[in-house]
Structure 1
Amino acid sequence: MRYLFSLLMVLGFISCDSFSKKDIVSVEITPVFEDSLSIRAISPVDETKVWFAADKGIVGLIDGKTPKLATIKYEDSLLHFRSIAQTKNAFFVLSIANPGVLYKIGYNGNEATNIEEVYLERGEKVFYDAMAFWNDSEGIAMGDPINGCLSIIRTKDGGNTWSKISCDNLPKTEAAEAAFAASNSNISLVGTHVWIVTGGKRARVFHSADKGETWEVFNTPIIQGQAMTGIYSVDFYDENLGVIFGGNWDNKTFNEGNKAITRNGGKTWDLISNGKGPGYRSSVRFIPGTQGESLVAVGSPGISYSPDQGDSWTELSEEGFYALEFVNDSVAFASGQHKISKLVFRK
């Protein structure tokens, strides 16, 4: 009887655990900012505040529904921003195209305190795509290839100074291999690791286990070979489990070869729900607190949700967005053409 009781207790715990996870059934979308901007880079502070970087030189903090905006010019030109990152006391925005200019924006918890130029790069092929920080001291940004390698810059002093990694220390890129500045999610960081994704002629994953000191590159089964095909977004849950998402921007409904998962740190990738589920998406994220099980992907065609690491998908909304960033397991911000919205996921 004692053994039977123990068995029943174990089965009871398993049964209770199996019902503890509730799937998302809907999303509530509340606009918090609308303007004539293309907004591809957001960084939430909490459930009520989110920083963003956009075109037309606009950088802003949305506090509730109150926008605090700044216009940044370099010389006489309005810059276009698609990269943003934060540390404890500052935010960073990085412009696309020539010149690439990186600004540090001081933040006191309520508003910007100062704006300082901390990196400048000129060149016909300069085009930076994404940026992220490991901690309050160390950060990294990536851009399209120049002289046969990706453009990768790093900081080790809280973003006050940045230096570019030499092509001698990076894997070679192929002709017409580049990246997409679609959602500031070409980079994923976990621990000391960084993963960077590409598209175009090749769709590959560049990886460093030591914060950019040494590098390796992995092939993927993601659709590639045309200018707008490839990987648009990457997210890692831990040092082993990661997901990549993209597709063909010119054929957004095509859902073959556009999403894949790794369980060995990016060395190999397996397609998920191939020929099923969503087509092109520009940003994918693991939902916090779901142990790497649940995903949300957004793109101009809508919002898609998977409860099982991409095996199955539910379309939550046809409203289109470019970028997605979670605050917690039920609240996120998303940005798109002319808007930023708060997303609340209902279970």
Structure 2
Amino acid sequence: MRRTVKWIRALSVALAVTAAGAAPAQAAQRPVPGVAWQAKATGSDARFRGLAAVSRSTAWVAGTKGTVLLTRDGGGHWRDVSPPGAGALEFRDVEAFDARHAVVLAIGEGEASRIFRTADGGAHWTESFRNTDPRAFYDCLAFFDHRHGIALGDPVDGRFRVLATADGGRTWRLLPPAGMPAAQPGEAAFAASGQCVVTSGTRDAWIATGGAAASRVLHSADRGRTWTAAATPVPAGDPARGVFALAFRGGRGLAVGGDYRAGQPSERAAAVSADGGRSWRAADEPPAAYRSGVAWLPRGRATAVAVGPTGSEITTDGGRTWRGFDTGSYDTVACAPDGGCWAAGEKGRAARLGAAPRPQGSGR
């Protein structure tokens, strides 16, 4: 762990120095030295949009065809721990507390939306929630601690739906809709990376939205019982556009998104908040295209990573400017407290963030 912390701190300093020396107009285009995704073969062809980073050695991924994989050796080997009989389900989120306890969410209309829980590393699973309302569609989930968590569903009767658990995902209850502001026409959340609802601390949660006239971020300070809404500068106005993912560290927030359709422009694909999500401003230099996942690096005070199908960027100034460092396709990203950052995506892709290899002949 000491070696990991040292590397993350050194990386953050090096990136900050490089960014400070770059011309503003060029910073987003120049490659970032010293950082790279290191691919970890999973042996699967599933598309992984659910990812839980427990540590540098332990991570869970969840995706298509009811697939859930677990590694405990830094991605050297992955064990298929998929729930039995789940092959027709689309897992889009996984939240894990350690190598034994995890909760996964399957999306879809009606009974396709389900939640499963394991307490023995995937050897056995229990279905703890199955949606019985044909109008409901659940997108993502998040936990405040080992016991308390929420799951987000798209609007029904004009308001987003929120499930809550107080026993680590064993049971779930629908929270009263009265504390939720009215949804805009066409507004929804995107089940793209498991980051359409996120938490920070023991009570605060945020929801990312799109599809309506304006993209918004909803905030709750009481574990999902009541919410307030704030508009963001990330373009919406179309079912394919809006905020897709959030990351918060205390009151500092990052929002990324854009237009997920291939080849479509995604101007102003990132925004930042300095007041807990009450207000948002566009990034000065946003990512180059649509991005579906974002995560703060745990040891870099103002450093975060964003990923999407066409590449990855890093920021060292709290989200004001983003610089590309990889062109591979990833849908989701997560960082563990010990500094281990992971990404996952299509065709069974999984990777861990590390130091870029030195060019041959570069010396020490």
TM-score by length of 2: 0.82
- Where does residue 28 of structure 2 map in the other structure? none
Residue among 86, 107, 113 paired with 2:96? 86
Residue among 216, 236, 247 paired with 1:224? 236
SS at match of 1:56: helix
Matched, 1:55 2:64: yes
| Deviation >3 Å, runs of 4+ | 70-74, 328-331
SS at match of 2:78: strand
CA RMSD of aligned residues (A): 2.4
Unmatched 5+ stretches in structure 2: 1-8, 16-31, 357-364
SS at match of 2:42: strand
Matched, 1:237 2:249: yes
Residue among 6, 28, 36 paired with 1:27? 36
Return the alpha-carbon distance in structure 2 between the equivalents of residues 70 and 234 of structure 1.
28
SS at match of 2:345: strand
Contact between 2:258 and 2:269, CA under 8 Å: does it hold in 1?
A: yes
| Residues 44-193 of structure 1 aligned to structure 2 (within 5 Å) | 44-64=53-73, 65-72=76-83, 78-87=88-97, 90-97=101-108, 98-99=110-111, 100-107=113-120, 111-191=121-201, 192-193=203-204
Taking a change above 3 Å as real, the CA distance of residues 252 and 125 of structure 1, as seen in their structure-2 partners, is farther
The alignment of Structure 1 onto Structure 2 pairs a total of residues equal to: 324
After superposition, give the CA deviation of every residue in 1:100-145 in whole Å (9 maximum; x if it has no partner): 21111113xxx33421111111233332211111111101111211
Taking a change above 3 Å as real, the CA distance of residues 129 and 20 of structure 1, as seen in their structure-2 partners, is closer
After superposition, give the CA deviation of every residue in 1:282-332 in whole Å (9 maximum; x if it has no partner): 0011111122x1121000011111111233322111111000111357532
SS at match of 1:37: coil
- Where does residue 310 of structure 1 map in the other structure? 319
1:193 deviates by 0.5
Q: Which has the higher contact order (CA 8 A, sep 6+)?
A: 2
- Where does residue 21 of structure 2 map in the other structure? none
Taking a change above 3 Å as real, the CA distance of residues 207 and 28 of structure 1, as seen in their structure-2 partners, is closer
Matched, 1:41 2:53: no
Q: Which amino acid aligns with 2:129?
A: Y
Q: Which structure shows the higher strand fraction? A: 1
Contact between 1:152 and 1:165, CA under 8 Å: does it hold in 2?
A: yes
Decide which structure has the larger Cα Rg and report it. Answer: 1
Return the alpha-carbon distance in structure 1 between the equivalents of residues 236 and 181 of structure 2.
19
Taking a change above 3 Å as real, the CA distance of residues 252 and 282 of structure 1, as seen in their structure-2 partners, is farther
SS at match of 1:279: coil
- Where does residue 13 of structure 1 map in the other structure? none
SS at match of 1:21: helix
Return the alpha-carbon distance in structure 2 between the equivalents of residues 77 and 146 of structure 1.
27
1:336 deviates by 0.6
Q: Which amino acid aligns with 1:106?
A: A
Return the alpha-carbon distance in structure 1 between the equivalents of residues 192 and 164 of structure 2.
21
TM-score by length of 1: 0.86
Contact between 2:270 and 2:287, CA under 8 Å: does it hold in 1?
A: no
Q: Which amino acid aligns with 2:317?
A: D
| Residues 273-284 of structure 1 aligned to structure 2 (within 5 Å) | 273=284, 277-284=287-294
Return the alpha-carbon distance in structure 2 between the equivalents of residues 227 and 134 of structure 1.
30
Taking a change above 3 Å as real, the CA distance of residues 171 and 60 of structure 1, as seen in their structure-2 partners, is same
Contact between 1:35 and 1:339, CA under 8 Å: does it hold in 2?
A: yes
Q: Percent identity?
A: 27
| Residues 241-256 of structure 1 aligned to structure 2 (within 5 Å) | 241-250=252-261, 254-256=265-267
